[in-house]
């Protein structure tokens, strides 16, 4: 379940953020092997992205193909062009030179400066790798920064 403070922050960002097409999202989550009880899944089953479209920063993309770019497109792009392993899902595009990826196995989120890497197959050599130990902590930080 999403914490109340996260729900409140998301609901302040958009006038009508609630998800209508939950069956489509459930199908996408299944294809991506994402646990439907995870915070990541609950976010997309409850709300429609992208998140934070108002600010000039890296946004968290929508999961369905309602909008482009979206999580599916960018994940495929990073897998094809930057060797992103199957366990990672792209949360953002790289329009600002930064990409955020979600590890479906560990629930961690990584922020990678694309100027520092040629591929995304191994994060161990990345000097300025920013990371969160859970998607929930990442989401809380992300939404808190946007409230300022």
What are the strands of the beta sheet with 109-113, ordered from one edge?
Answer: 88-90, 98-103, 109-113, 130-132
Question: How far is residue 146's CA from residue 60's CA, in Å, rounded to a whole number?
Answer: 12
Q: What is the pLDDT along the chain (148 residues), one digit of tens a residue?
A: 789 998 888 888 766 689 999 999 999 999 999 999 999 999 999 999 888 755 546 789 999 988 789 999 999 999 999 999 999 999 999 888 889 999 999 999 999 888 888 888 887 777 778 999 999 999 988 888 654 4
């Amino acid at each position: 379940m999403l914490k109340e403070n996260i729900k409140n922050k998301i609901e302040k960002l958009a006038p009508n953020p609630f998800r209508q097409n939950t069956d489509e999202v459930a199908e996408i989550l299944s294809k991506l092997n994402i646990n439907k009880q995870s915070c990541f899944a609950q976010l997309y089953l409850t709300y429609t992205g992208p998140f934070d479209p108002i600010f000039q920063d890296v946004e968290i993309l929508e999961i369905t193909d309602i909008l482009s770019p979206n999580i599916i497109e960018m994940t495929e792009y990073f897998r094809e062009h930057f060797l992103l392993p199957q366990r990672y899902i792209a949360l953002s595009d790289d329009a600002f030179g930064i990409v955020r990826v979600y590890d479906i196995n560990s629930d961690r989120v990584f922020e990678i400066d694309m100027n520092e890497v040629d591929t995304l197959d191994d994060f161990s050599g990345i000097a300025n790798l920013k990371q969160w130990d859970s998607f929930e902590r990442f989401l809380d930080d992300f939404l808190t920064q946007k409230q300022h």
